[in-house]
Amino acid sequence: MGNYLLISFLLLLCGITTAVTQLFNSYLTLPSSCPAPDPALNYRPIIGIVSHPGDGATGRLSNATNVSYIAASYVKFAEMAGARVIPLIYTEPPQVLNQKLNLVNGIIFTGGWAKDGLYFDVIKGFFQKILEKNNAGEHFPLLAICLGYELLTMIITNDNNILEEFSAASQASTVQFVENVNIEGTVFGRKNTRLPYKKVLKRFPPVLLKKMSIDCLVMQNHHFGISPERFQANKDLSSFFRVLTTSTDENNKVYVSTIQAQRYPIAAFQWHPEKNGFEWGSSRIPHSEDAIQVTTHVANYFISEARKSSNKPVAREVLDSLIYNYNLTYGGKAGKGYDEVYLFIPHSSSSSL
Ligand SMILES: *[C@@H]1O[C@H](CO)[C@@H](O)[C@H](O)[C@H]1NC(C)=O
Ligand SMILES: *[C@@H]1O[C@H](CO)[C@@H](O)[C@H](O)[C@H]1NC(C)=O
Ligand SMILES: *[C@@H]1O[C@H](CO)[C@@H](O)[C@H](O)[C@H]1NC(C)=O
């Protein structure tokens, strides 16, 4: 009996001590060990990814009218750097797309093949809105990959024949940094001069940049491109963009492979930063630790730009639009193409417009 009382007393004492410790921790330890986050940054960035016509698998997954898709690799790429994704389904009515544009802090134009029709018009419209937002003082980044890069060159030059043919289908390559190019403040840049000294961001380490110029760490998959000569000779392109890197195709022809806008948070890649981490359908895709670092650093660059966007949309509307509302389809079991895709099949186009 005496023992029982003693144990009860000890347990009670124990409980009180724990509670007091917890109280102390919450009042004393936490505030001093967790400094307030930078109020200038948005730590809940949302990325819009524009869907592309088709099912991403030449009909193996769906032949539905006006079906479009987003390869999951682009979604994971944004997520790995601390963002959530809203699909911008290009077949949706313009007013729906505009509403969704107001829910995001940056946009990705993906790879693919479509260069005309509604898809081209939607990409062009988004690009104009991105320039408008930035011109109005809202920091609003764009990452354009492969087809996205090619479309930008067509839109900026207003010339649908600006591209030249290259042989770079399904191959890994190096990137050669343009001589004397200043990479500060670009996707490869080591510093972000907009941030105070304490917050200087170190992205691509010099040793990785060096390896990228020697090892084949980036995945190419394109039949078109632009030579550096043509790029520089075109006033629209050379005044808008800084050329950061070039690469070489199977016939030793050199094309521009990475560009960065001079005055906008826009980076464009002829190569695929997202594939190294998340696509397995081609044996040519590099998956070495260095290759994964390339994916990681590009993703971190882009999402850090998105955190500078001050747009803070209504939470409810965000939740309703997030990619989590859609199901993944595993298309890669066929041994080719994208491993996972999101498919978007429009409801019958009755009176919804
Ligand atoms: C789509 O059409 C093609 C060609 O007719 C056919 O081979 C394929 O099985 C169809 N896909 C689906 C998901 O039904
Ligand atoms: C996703 O899959 C689940 C389980 O099969 C199903 O209940 C749900 O309706 C699907 N959602 C969509 C948007 O297709
Ligand atoms: C497919 O897209 C076209 C062009 O936007 C549209 O006219 C048509 O109604 C759409 N069809 C369906 C079934 O959504």
Over the stretch 298-313, which tens digit does the pLDDT of each residue have?
Answer: 999 999 999 999 999 9
Give residue 329 CA to ligand 2 midpoint distance, Å: 11
Ligand approaching nearest to the C-alpha of 65: 3
Handedness of CA 276, 268, 40, 95 (dihedral sign): negative
**Amino acid (one-letter) located at 202:** K
Given this model, what pLDDT does residue 164 score?
Answer: 98
Q: Is 14 noted as a catalytic residue in this protein?
A: no
CA distance 258 to 270: 6
Q: 327 CB under 6 A from ligand 2?
A: yes
250 belongs to a structural domain:
yes
Three-state DSSP at 50 gives strand
CATH number at residue 87: 3.40.50.880
- The pLDDT of residue 186 is 94
Structural domain that includes position 108: 46-344
Determine the average pLDDT of the residues in 245-250. 98
Strand pairing class (142-145; 266-269)? parallel
What is the predicted pLDDT for the residue at 353?
44
- Distance between CA atoms of 189 and 173, rounded to whole angstroms? 21
The protein residue with its alpha carbon nearest to ligand 2, atom 5, reads 327
What's the pLDDT score for residue 33?
Answer: 83
27: which 2 tokens? Answer: 């009042």
Confidence at residue 347, expressed as pLDDT on a 0 to 100 scale: 83
- Looking up tokens 């790995």, which residue turns up? 80
Ligand nearest to the CA of 345: 3
d(C-alpha 208, C-alpha 283), whole Å: 22
What domain count does the chain have?
1
pLDDT in tens, 147-174: 999 999 999 999 999 999 999 999 999 9
Task: Tell whether 18 is covered by a domain.
Answer: no
Buried b (16+ CB within 10 A) or exposed e, 277-289: bbbebbeebbbee
Ligand nearest to C-alpha 324:
2
- Could you tell me what percent of the chain has a pLDDT over 70? 86
By residue count, the chain amounts to 353
Q: What spacing in Å lies between the alpha carbon of 43 and ligand 3's midpoint? A: 38
Among 12-21, 304-313, 325-334, where is mean pLDDT lowest?
12-21
pLDDT of residue 40: 92
Q: Is the CB of 65 under 6 A from ligand 3?
A: yes
Ligand 1: list residues with CB < 6 Å: 59, 61-63
Lowest mean pLDDT among 17-31, 107-121, 272-286: 17-31
The predicted structure's pLDDT at residue 32:
66
Q: Whose CA is nearest to atom 5 of ligand 1?
A: 59
- Pocket mutation for ligand 3, best pick of 91, 120, 122, 344 (most atoms within 8 Å of C-beta): 91
Q: Are strands 46-50 and 84-88 parallel, antiparallel or unpaired?
A: parallel
The more confidently predicted of residues 172 and 8 is 172
Domain membership of residue 3 (yes or no) is no
State which ligand 1 atom lies nearest to the alpha carbon of 62. 13
Residues 157 and 271 sit within 8 Å (Cβ to Cβ): no
Give domain status of residue 327, yes or no.
yes
- Whole-number Å distance, alpha carbon 117 to ligand 3 midpoint, is 12
**327, 342, 345, best to mutate for ligand 2 pocket (most atoms within 8 Å of CB):** 327
> What distance in Å separates the CA atoms of residue 240 and residue 142, rounded to the nearest whole number?
14
The answer to whether 216 is a known catalytic residue is: no
H helices of 46-92, where? 72-80
Ligand closest in space to the Cα of 92: 3
Whether 99 has a pLDDT exceeding 70, the answer reads: yes
Average pLDDT, the chain: 91
Distance separating alpha carbons of residues 268 and 245, to the nearest angstrom = 11
In a domain, 183, yes or no: yes
Q: Is the pLDDT of residue 197 over 70?
A: no
Of all protein residues, the one whose alpha carbon is nearest to atom 8 of ligand 2 is: 327
Residue 99, number of CB atoms within 10 A of its CB: 14
Distance 105 CA to ligand 3 centre (A): 29
Whether residue 326 has its Cβ less than 6 Å from ligand 2:
yes
Q: Ligand 3 centroid vs 64 CA: distance in angstroms?
A: 11
The residue among 206 and 21 whose pLDDT is bigger is: 206
**Residue among 87, 18, 32, 110 at smallest CA distance from 328:** 87
Nearest C-alpha to atom 4 of ligand 3 is from which residue? 118
Domain annotation covers residue 198 = yes
Q: What's the mean pLDDT in 304-325? A: 95
Instruction: Say how many Å lie between the CA of residue 286 and the centre of ligand 3.
Output: 38
Task: Report the alpha-carbon distance of residue 11 to residue 28 in Å, rounded.
Answer: 25
Any domain includes 158:
yes
- How far apart are the CA of 58 and the centre of ligand 1, in A? 9
Let me know if residue 187 belongs to a domain. Answer: yes
Name the residue at shortest CA distance from atom 4 of ligand 2: 327
Predicted local confidence at residue 189, as pLDDT? 86
> Is 313 close to ligand 3, i.e. is its CB under 6 Å away?
no
Buried b (16+ CB within 10 A) or exposed e, 221-235: bbebbbebebbeebe
